[in-house]
Amino acid sequence: MTARTATHRLQVATALHQFIDREVLPGTGVSPAKFWKGFDAIVAELAPKNIALLAERERLQTELDAWHTAHPGPITTGDLSSPTDMSAYRAFLEQIGYLVPNPKKVRISTAKVDAELAVQAGPQLVVPVLNARYALNAANARWGSLYDALYGTDAISEAKGCEKVGKKGYNPKRGAKVIEYARHVLDRTAPLRKGSHLDSVGYRIKDGKLAVKLADGSHTSLQHHAQLVGYQGEAKAPSSVLLQHNGLHLDLQINRATPIGAADPAGVSDLVLEAALSTIIDLEDSVAVVDADDKVLAYRNWLGLLQGTLTEQVSKGDKTFTRGLNPDRVYTPPSGKGKKVTLHGRALMFVRNVGHLMTNPAILYTDKAGVTREIPEGILDAVVTTTIAMHDLKRTAKDGIRNSRKGSVYIVKPKMHGPAEVAFAAELFSRVEKMLGLADSTVKLGIMDEERRTSVNLKACIEAASSRVAFINTGFLDRTGDEMHSAMQAGPMIRKGDMKSSAWIAAYERNNVLVGLSCGLAGRAQIGKGMWAMPDLMKAMLEQKIAHPRAGANTAWVPSPTGATLHALHYHQLLVSAVQKEMEKINADKERDSLLTGLLTIPVTATPNWSETEKQQELDNNAQGILGYVVRWIDQGVGCSKVPDIHNIGLMEDRATLRISSQHMANWLHHGVVTADQVRQTFERMAAVVDGQNTGDPLYQPMAGHFDTSMAYQAACDLVFKGLAQPSGYTEPLLHGWRLKVKAAAQAVVPAG
């Protein structure tokens, strides 16, 4: 039984109440009395609006289900007499209010946005807030060793004696390949007037310029002297040379006392890249947070990050050390005189709140009808995470570690369906600002374009929060899940692997950038792209993820600090602001019709004539992925991890990938592509596979042979067999319910005292 503290009409879990009163509010200037009175008023006024928005989702889904049931199959674009012609479909969507009028001209007015979002282009990390070590690593991933990233991944081949482990641990042959690669990076980003960095034998600062000695005894300098930003150490023998290219910094580190530097003719020991400009501290898809205890842990880590006090004990080999947030980086200007050059040592942090759907038992409230309800979790997150951010807002440059130097709070809001829901988020943030005494639009909004109704109405969504938008980002995974659920009754979905080449995906990715640029996001906000989900396949990432900056996105998600360091190279390959400038010449409104046709092209097939082998392959892939993720979520409370797929390739899985797999299986089951018996047999077989993949985990509880008692296994099955009934196909309601059962069962067996 959760202990609760009554305050106004709220019944607050005592652990959360004490955390806010004792840890959050001191130092904010907001008294507990003012906070709880204001919080109560926000819940009383906005919770009913939240409920109404969810009811509207259900109404629209009911309309979609009825229409697709009456008009099954793909929607055509040429036969005007067809009941499934695109024009008829669009007219239907407009009639029911799913598709709203496209605003004529929208320009965001967002102010006080930090350079990491408004000006610079570079990688972005997403990290679960519950894991303090991961959160610190992500925040510190603003700077990353290119040497380490290349040496430790498949970016450098292990062929021809270049294995990662040599006779003494370090393989000098592989190291030479890494150094050569890094020197080529320098030649591309900071070219010399003559010669190559490959031939450098010495670096120093002379007369405010970089002087480079080459192996033939000659001297040279940078082609563009302005690329030298500063240095550390002595000018005649610097320990660090700071360069700039395409708005990103490169730190050439020189240390002959290290094994690498001692063997290098120029004494270069590393090339450190400015990498993760921003990171999203996640309260949503990557965490398993189901009650007040989980919420307090999550909020406490967010508080520690913004106060600069979060630390974690880390053990590597026989050494243990304390990890905290990195300090800022300080350099001497090239002239050797004047004000020091200070660069932010950490990624700019967003916090991702939960969406509008879920409620949380951390706080109960009584509505006007006298009914006791759980608080909408998005309202809880907005109030508490913004209040915590006041600690950062009150800091000055003299206080050291700061997040926003512009005085903003950055909140990513996921899973919003259309402009009315974006407007509600803006209203919620406005109410929180007034409650806390903050200026209007202090809270900046990151809009995840990951639901179909947001995609087709993106311009109207941006208009609904035009003074707050600091970020729009495509979320291919959730967007695919919503595509499947929205058109569940239209027919059998194409195979998962074929989705990326479907018409709606191409239109979706292009529409996001063009609409963002037409609304004035260039130079004011981020336009982002989705995750590279294969952290072990960095060579492939280097080959493929250049597509994101080429598309005009000034950020894209990566799965690790190492991934951020390597993805940073793509932003040196081209200048995203120049790409955006060219794309701004495109009239997005003129493309609106063709893009909307693409966005509304449903990925179903009229001929589901896959072979039995192909059907089973799809079932195996989906079931294995579901079980591999769910078993950790339910039994251990792990919301995001590297989960081996059916081919034992590690994939970063979260609830978005789970939504796709479960909805896809539910769709095929509903349309008779597969049978219930096939699905059950597949789950049972794949449970044994997943058990085998987790044999090294001492906390793992096997599912095979325990189908009637394993709550994780039952939760996985529910996601498919009850998939049609889940709101928008989301997995959270079932996951939360089963996780709460597991936690209750664990508490029941703990001996008293």
Question: How much is the CA Rg of the chain, to the nearest whole Å?
Answer: 27
Q: Which amino acid is present at 670?
A: H
CA distances from 689 to 61, 496, 625 (A): 36, 21, 11
Q: H-helix or E-strand containing 67?
A: helix 32-70
Up-side HSE of residue 391: CA atoms within 13 Å toward CB? Answer: 20
In contact, 374 and 305? CB cutoff 8 Å: no
CA distances from 242 to 182, 222, 226, 730 (A): 15, 12, 11, 47
| Candidates 183, 352, 402, 453; catalytic one | 352
Active site (annotated) includes residue 654: yes
Q: At a CB cut-off of 8 Å and minimum separation 6, what does 193 contact?
A: 220, 221, 222, 223
From the list 640, 615, 613, 616, the residue with the least C-alpha distance to 628 is: 640
Handedness of CA 318, 322, 324, 326 (dihedral sign): negative
- DSSP for residue 685: H
Tell me if residue 670 falls in helix, strand or coil. Answer: helix
How many whole angstroms separate alpha carbon 120 and alpha carbon 441? 22
| Candidates 294, 654, 691, 718; catalytic one | 654
For residue 695, count other CB atoms closer than 10 A to its CB: 9
Active site (annotated) includes residue 352: yes
How many whole angstroms separate alpha carbon 126 and alpha carbon 143? 16
**Alpha carbon 417 to chain centroid, angstroms:** 18
How many whole angstroms separate alpha carbon 658 and alpha carbon 663? 8
Q: Length of the chain, please?
A: 753
Tokens standing for 15?
């652990």
Burial class (CB in 10 A: 0-12, 13-18, 19+), 69: exposed
In contact, 230 and 338? CB cutoff 8 Å: no
From the list 694, 739, 692, 697, the residue with the least C-alpha distance to 715 is: 739
Q: H-helix or E-strand containing 528?
A: strand 526-529
Crossing angle of helices 377-393 and 292-307, rounded to 10° = 20
Burial class (CB in 10 A: 0-12, 13-18, 19+), 646: middle
Tell me if residue 709 falls in helix, strand or coil. Answer: coil
How many whole angstroms separate alpha carbon 25 and alpha carbon 217? 63
Strands 526-529 and 555-558: parallel
**Alpha carbon 707 to chain centroid, angstroms:** 34
Residues with catalytic roles? 352, 654
